[in-house]
Amino acid sequence: MRRICLTLAGLLLAGLPWAALAQQATCPDGKKADGVERAGNSRHCLVIRTLAPSQASARTAPKVLVVFLHGDNGGRTELKADSGAAAMLAEKLQVVTVALQRPGYSSELGRSDGQSSPGDDDYTPQNIEIVAAALAQLRSLNPTKKILLVGHSGGAAIAALLAGRFPGSADAYLLAACPCDVPAWRQWRAGSAGKKGAWTSLSPLAEAGKLPPATLISLVVGNKDENTLPLFSESYARAVQARGLKTRVTYAMNATHVSVLRSPEFFMLAGELAETLSK
């Protein structure tokens, strides 16, 4: 299965506007915020990897840009060009997908600006703002596309917080294995895995009341997830439904915290949201 990892030479194929290149900011690491390898502004940039499907065609450029936010891993991650959730989303949805490296995280592609914690307690207002700025630049570089923001685990928590604090960051949200009730989740992890100590991170459940009534948001969790239990998605869904939003929790059968990203239910929901945004 051949996938295209976009470079500047691949921008036209992906349908990204060349005119916007003249407006790129220079990131703190000296690289350009080109929307292909970096996204952000002169104060903060995030490392990204931009992936196009193997059958990408300028004649059938989709109206959706998918952005994927990875989970917690103590400040290190991989933005894989040939596997992983972002690459699979690009292929299955046949859309350009941006794998976004969260603030403070490092990979072979460089380090994202912002703060990360070895203990993963980094869903902070500052980091949420940095991600919002990166998404704003991606939107400016893709003015004809809607943004579908997909988050896994801690990335799902950040996506949910963005939906309330910066509702223009994306047009739809898919939360996979979300630790959406952070205090309850940390209490559970203290007992289940010895992850001691309360977090100071923002909690999506506490901020569910900030979501605009028209927010398009879906949740998926593995029914065998023993990390972010289904109940943490369920409590958030109930709070969102109380706001009048039509959302639901979909259970990925026989899926764990990690394998939910390979589940049919995950790709089904992503496809449904992408289709809705394309209308």
pLDDT at position 15 is 46
Which pLDDT belongs to residue 24?
Answer: 79
- State how beta strands 97-100 and 106-107 pair: unpaired
Structural domain tally of the chain?
1
State the Cα–Cα distance between residues 243 and 145, nearest whole angstrom: 27
Q: Which uninterrupted H or E stretch holds 250?
A: strand 249-252
- Per-residue pLDDT tens, the chain, 279 aa: give them: 445 565 433 443 344 444 444 467 999 999 999 999 999 999 999 999 999 998 755 445 579 999 999 999 999 999 999 889 999 999 999 999 999 999 999 999 999 999 999 999 999 999 999 999 999 999 999 999 999 999 999 999 999 999 999 999 999 999 999 999 999 999 999 888 887 778 999 999 999 999 999 999 999 999 999 999 999 999 999 999 999 999 999 999 999 999 999 999 999 999 999 999 998
Provide the domain limits for residue 47: 4-278
pLDDT of residue 149: 98
Residue 146: which CATH number?
3.40.50.1820
Global pTM reads 0.91
Handedness of CA 205, 206, 209, 214 (dihedral sign): negative
Asked whether the beta carbons of 45 and 29 are under 8 A apart, the reply is: yes
SS3 label, residue 157: helix
CB proximity list for 54: less than 8 A, separation 6 or greater: 1, 2, 3, 4, 91
Side-chain-facing half-sphere of 198: CA atoms under 13 Å: 5
